[in-house]
Amino acid sequence: MPTRLNPYLGFRDNAREAMSFYQSVFGGKLDVMTFDQMAHDPAEKDKIMHAMLEAPNGLVLMGSDTPAGMTRNPGDNISVSLSGDNDAELRGYWDKLAQGGQVTVPLEKAPWGDSFGMLVDKFGIPWMVNIAGAR
């Protein structure tokens, strides 16, 4: 799979509604994973942990609900996502983006089997990196 660069939108409690709306705008296939599927706080079990809309023309939009324990403010509710299966390439991007920045979630194995990390680069841009694990 080639490496993808796409926006990742953060919502509070309406990611399902928003991503369904974007699907009505752009078309395509919408995949949704809830927090319940990852054994999080039962009070947030129906919230969206990850949604990915793949439009027929190649556009990709990702999003999720922000857990209650994390801040979400208009203006900081969008990140840039890098995802793919090329471990060396994505770790190289991670290392360079982290220089002078702040790692907020270390790049390590995640509950869903991929390697995942989050950081804010030295210019204040939030990034998420997801390296697909063996399928």
pLDDT digits 0-9 by tens, 84-123: 999 999 999 999 999 999 999 999 999 889 999 999 988 7
| In 35-133, beta strands by DSSP E | 48-54, 60-65, 78-84, 102-109, 115-120, 126-131
pLDDT at 72: 76
Dihedral sign computed on CA atoms, order 132, 34, 108, 63: positive
Q: Does 32 score more than 90 pLDDT?
A: yes
Q: What is the pLDDT of residues 68-86, one digit of tens each?
A: 878 777 777 788 999 999 9
Q: Does 29 score more than 70 pLDDT?
A: yes
Residue of higher predicted confidence among 108 and 9: 108
**Cα gap 18→114, rounded to integer Å:** 25
- Under CATH, which architecture does the 4-131 domain have? Roll (3.10)
The SS3 assignment for 86 reads: coil
pLDDT at 40: 67
DSSP secondary structure, 66-77, as one string:
PPTTS---TTSS
The domain segmentation of the chain, as residue ranges, is 4-131
pLDDT at 39: 60
